[in-house]
Amino acid sequence: MKFLSIFTLILTVFAFTACDDDGGSGNSQYNGIYEVTTSQERTSCGSGEWNEMTLEEDFFLLEGIDFMGTPVIGWSFCTGQTSDTCDDSFDLMMSFVLEDGEWVQYMDSSSTMGETCWLSRTRGYIEKTDTGVIVTSTTWEGNVTLDAGEECDYELIDKYISELGCGRESVIEADKVN
């Protein structure tokens, strides 16, 4: 399965060589440890019943940095309310990059399924609240039949986005505790 977009590649490198400065990008406004208060998902977009979603941990750290000119909000899962309980590296699937003025969780993937190509795009957005943050994400996915000569690749998602169905929505609400 091909998983890496350019943002994921950048995030992979930054997970090992993170800098501490937010470079004036404003990503430090989210710095802190958060406790999850709500974590839900539904398998149909825009309608359907919300179900509880299990996360890796009940706490997470958000930390804004500037990596090689790219503003990033790193997400690390934590077992408690202090930074010494947090993972040493950021979770690449949960971290945010600045795209068109918005903080976005960004993942595109593809895999070959015989004669068809499975494409998937997930986008998540973070919003400040009075007590913490809300993260909402949507995943579009589906099988597409490629044009002659095309190879299954995540870079084709923009071309075939109208053929992908909305497969899942999720909401995570969390209060800032530290």
Tell me the per-residue pLDDT of 67-101, one tens digit each, with 9 for 90 and over: 677 888 999 999 999 999 999 888 888 899 988 88
As for how many domains the chain has, the answer is: 1
> What pTM did the predictor assign?
0.79
Burial class (CB in 10 A: 0-12, 13-18, 19+), 55: middle
- Show the tokens assigned to 64: 């804004």
Helix, strand, or coil (residue 16):
helix
**Mean pLDDT, the chain, integer:** 85
What is the arithmetic mean of pLDDT over 114-123?
Answer: 90
Ramachandran bin of 8, using left for φ above 0, alpha for ψ from -120 to 50, beta for the remaining angles? alpha
Q: Are 85 and 77 in contact (CB under 8 A)?
A: no
Amino acid 8: pLDDT = 44
Amino acid 31: pLDDT = 95
CA atoms within 13 A on the CB side of 135: 26
Amino acid 35: pLDDT = 98
Residue showing tokens 């039949």: 145
Q: Report the distance separating Cα 79 and Cα 36, nearest Å.
A: 11
Tell me the per-residue pLDDT of 123-145, one tens digit each, with 9 for 90 and over: 999 999 999 999 999 999 999 99
Amino acid 25: pLDDT = 52
Burial class (CB in 10 A: 0-12, 13-18, 19+), 158: exposed
Residue 119 forms part of a structural domain: yes
Residue 25 forms part of a structural domain: yes
Asked whether residue 19 carries a pLDDT value surpassing 60, the answer given is no
Residue 27 forms part of a structural domain: yes
Domain range enclosing 20: 6-176
Residue 17 forms part of a structural domain: yes
Residue 1 forms part of a structural domain: no
Give the phi and the psi of residue 100 in degrees, each rounded to 5.
Answer: 50, 40
Tell me the per-residue pLDDT of 43-67, one tens digit each, with 9 for 90 and over: 888 888 999 999 999 999 999 977 6
Tell me the per-residue pLDDT of 155-175, one tens digit each, with 9 for 90 and over: 999 999 999 999 899 999 999
Residue 65 forms part of a structural domain: yes
Amino acid 52: pLDDT = 95
